[in-house]
Structure 1
Amino acid sequence: MRPRQKIIEMFSTFIELEEDKFSKWLIDIKLHRNIQNYLESSPFVPNSENFWALHWHKCWREESNSLVRIHLSAYLQESNYWAAKKTIAKFTNSQYSLADYFQMANAEIETILKQFNPEKCSSLKAYATMAVPSRLKDILRQRKEADICTNWALLRKVSKKQLLEAFAQAGLSPILIAQYRLAWTCFKELYVQNQPGGTKSLPEPEPQLWEAIVNLYNRERQNQLTQSTPESTREKIEQWLTQTAVYVRGYLYPPVSSLNLVIPEDDYTKTFDLPDPSSESLIAQMIAQEDAQNQQNQQSQIEAVLLKTLQTFEAKTQEILQLYYQQGLTQPQIVERLQMSQPTVSRRLIKCRESMLKALIQWSQDTLNISVTSNLVNDMSSDLEEWLKVKYGESR
């Protein structure tokens, strides 16, 4: 495939799934023409996917052009697909399918583009490969929290900005927004978090509290509502607050079905004969072609960071690591071999891992501009353990 044709396809094609499996590629003709015109008018521009990814990202930051954003969405399709595959493999008991995770990943494009800093990471795809799986884990955590959070707990913790954005997304009229907002303000002012069950399981207000909320609303409506409205009742305000919780959930944790990037197959799109991204041949092709040099450089940098940290450990600690990872001895066996106490051996092993993990996190923040989450730390910790096993295994 010619280099320029490959660039055109990367920035104008989208994955379509069917029955939770890869179905086909769709090419957006408008995107295809747009990038083709760019390439034809710039004959001396490099035929590099990374060059064009950074170019479109710069255009997006400077102009917020929707067409540019769709180019980048197309470019990150494979990264999102692999993130979805990785997530479904880790969360086998989840209620979501591969298509659900893929849709969630596509919905995170805007966040990924905002967080990507080309001054700290030279590859948008490399950044997305690291960041999207972490974002999906955070989404799952948030959705789980939302599922167990009562309406009253949700209304207590939501901010005014989020509330108004939720109302705007729901398409409410200005007068209805004003009434809902005032009801929420009265509720939040009077419903004090003094229940012992924690903030996620706050119960429905008691009858006397409902009465106080209603009285406060009816007093404040005369000053805070621009249009004259009749006095409200407990039933009406409870209905408003319950509906408000529905709007807030829909805004903060939208249903998966609403996240899908719909690309109709009409005069603006056509099917495109590309390999199935789930095939082994494409995996090999991706490893060989997509940012191979950049990935190799990053792996070399990580290796150097970890080896440098290893060298800072004293000789006795180095010996403990060799016995544990290279010879496969258990901690009690190491205690017997080195005539050291069990707590000392355990403490040194833990301290070594913590020091190396801290160095790895610092490198990720400085080089890849990645926000560290608990999920990402867990992944790095697992990867570090594998690296130690492989590293010392080479010396056997």
Structure 2
Amino acid sequence: MFSTFAQLENDKFGKWLSDRKLHRSIQNCLNSSAEVTTSENFWALYWHKHWKTQSNHLAKMHLLAYLQEPCYWTASKTVAKFTNSQYSLADYFQMANTEIETILKDFKAEKCSSLKAYAMMAMPSRLRDILRQRQEAELCTNWALLRKVSKKLLLEALSEVGLSPTAMTQYRLAWTCFKELYVQKQPSGIAKLPEPSRQLWEAIANLYNQERKSQLTQSTGECTSETIEKWLTQTALYVRAYLFPPVKSLNTFKQDDDTTITFDVPDPSSSSPMADMIAEEDVENRQNQISQMSAELLNSLQSLDAQSQEVLKLYYQQGLTQQQIVQELQMSQPTVSRRLVKGRESMLAALVKWSQSTLNIPVHSNQIKDMSLFLEEWLRNQYGEYNMMSTR
């Protein structure tokens, strides 16, 4: 589990590939003492601590292997939801893998005991944010992108491609002149900014040539408008590539001196006491998470006033429309609608609060949408169970 990576074949799960060095590492840890636990959660927190406190590369690789399942689960859910997307399951899976380091940084072991549970909750939102940003970037022209990017991100993008310090300062100054003469004069809400005119490029070049005398530490020659345009076009490409790197092959893993990825495919029918124990614990952890969330929602449901509970019951258990509930309970339509909305909002608030305190999940609009969908499913299942019990 801490040494295997998922391989996709024909855009679906194919097999698990084991990394020999990671496998030896975890086996050495387990063999170091007869009293060392085989608890999945223990080792997840153990490697996370080593990664966080020591920037340990081996620990990071163990965690990348450990979180393959949440990555695949997130990719499967995403590809099912966005059926018209240009991305495949393998693309989504690779995107999820690239977000693991962010998940590790955001995870707080003192507030959430399960790294995998946190990843299962946080990763879908991370992936949606990436897709939304990618779509926005694809719609933006080079000039809109240069308008939006901050100085910090611009310099990071230029540094990433290995430009010399002198070239970086020249590109940065050209970008500053561009913003001063062009971007700030455009409507702020327009993504498709018009192409700068040749006259404007000349003005930007003139401003650059004036400012370079005081802004650049090294002496450089004057630049033509064509050079400035070329620099800024290239800068936009650098920024776009830095913010949204292309999706690479799922099965391509980085090799370096510290960890060389070599694959030794295990017999899928083989088993071990440790594997069985981890599998059982994984199921148990998930069941515990679901039980806790269900208990929280049930408490919230029972704390609602009697009328709200009755409206929810008729709506979800008996499948009545709002108009039918109006006739059943002799209420006004606005009252029925308000009871439904307020009841669900109250339960959703309870679920958000529980997630914050138990899983340390950052709450934003996408996360709330996920919780709202979970609540809707829970209500239908909950009242469905009551309905089945009443017909026995």
> Does the CA contact (< 8 Å) of 1:12 and 1:27 recur in 2?
yes
Aligned to 1:5: none
The RMSD of aligned alpha carbons is: 2.3
Tell me the SS of whatever aligns to 2:248: helix
- The residue type paired with residue 212 of structure 1 is A
Residue 246 (structure 1) aligned with residue 220 (structure 2): no
Moved more, 245-254 or 355-364: 355-364
1:102-149 Cα offsets, whole Å, 9 max, x none, are 111111111011011111111111111122222111111111111111
Tell me the SS of whatever aligns to 1:14: strand
1:335-394 Cα offsets, whole Å, 9 max, x none, are 122222212211221111111111111111111111223222222212211111121222
Aligned to 2:99: 108
Aligned to 1:122: 113
Percent identical across equivalent pairs?
69
Tell me the SS of whatever aligns to 1:257: coil
Residue 50 (structure 1) aligned with residue 41 (structure 2): yes
Change (3 A) 1:346 1:30: same
1:76-104 Cα offsets, whole Å, 9 max, x none, are 11221222112111111111111111111
Alignment of 1:1-396 (within 5 A): 10-196=1-187, 198-257=189-248, 261-262=252-253, 269-273=262-266, 275=268, 289-396=280-387
- The residue type paired with residue 73 of structure 1 is L
Question: How far 1:268 moved relative to its partner?
Answer: 5.6
1:28-70 Cα offsets, whole Å, 9 max, x none, are 2222222222222232111111111100000111100111101
The unaligned stretches of length 5 or more in structure 2 are 270-275, 388-392
- Distance in 2 between the 1:269 and 1:207 partners? 55
- Distance in 2 between the 1:221 and 1:270 partners? 54
> Does the CA contact (< 8 Å) of 1:106 and 1:260 recur in 2?
no
- Distance in 1 between the 2:267 and 2:160 partners? 37
Tell me the SS of whatever aligns to 2:17: strand
Question: How far 1:201 moved relative to its partner?
Answer: 2.3
- Distance in 2 between the 1:259 and 1:171 partners? 26
- The residue type paired with residue 369 of structure 1 is N
- Distance in 1 between the 2:137 and 2:41 partners? 38
Change (3 A) 1:231 1:124: same
> Does the CA contact (< 8 Å) of 2:30 and 2:37 recur in 1?
no
Question: How far 1:20 moved relative to its partner?
Answer: 1.9
- Distance in 2 between the 1:199 and 1:122 partners? 45
Tell me the SS of whatever aligns to 2:304: coil
- Distance in 2 between the 1:290 and 1:194 partners? 60
Moved more, 335-344 or 351-360: 335-344
- Distance in 1 between the 2:382 and 2:278 partners? 22
Change (3 A) 1:320 1:286: farther
- The residue type paired with residue 187 of structure 1 is F
Moved more, 66-75 or 34-43: 34-43
- Distance in 1 between the 2:154 and 2:251 partners? 24
Change (3 A) 1:28 1:394: closer
- Distance in 2 between the 1:349 and 1:288 partners? 40
- Distance in 2 between the 1:267 and 1:197 partners? 48
> Does the CA contact (< 8 Å) of 1:104 and 1:260 recur in 2?
no
- The residue type paired with residue 214 of structure 2 is N
- Distance in 2 between the 1:259 and 1:18 partners? 10
Report the count of equivalent residues.
378
- Distance in 2 between the 1:126 and 1:387 partners? 18
Change (3 A) 1:261 1:53: farther
Change (3 A) 1:197 1:168: closer
Question: How far 1:263 moved relative to its partner?
Answer: 5.8
The unaligned stretches of length 5 or more in structure 1 are 1-9, 277-284
Task: With the length of structure 2 as denominator, give the TM-score of the two structures.
Answer: 0.90
- The residue type paired with residue 147 of structure 2 is R
- Distance in 2 between the 1:30 and 1:300 partners? 37
- Distance in 1 between the 2:119 and 2:154 partners? 30
Tell me the SS of whatever aligns to 1:24: strand
- Distance in 2 between the 1:303 and 1:355 partners? 15
Question: How far 1:250 moved relative to its partner?
Answer: 0.3
- The residue type paired with residue 218 of structure 1 is N
- Distance in 2 between the 1:351 and 1:287 partners? 42
- The residue type paired with residue 262 of structure 2 is T
> Does the CA contact (< 8 Å) of 1:25 and 1:274 recur in 2?
no
- Distance in 1 between the 2:158 and 2:378 partners? 49
Tell me the SS of whatever aligns to 1:229: coil
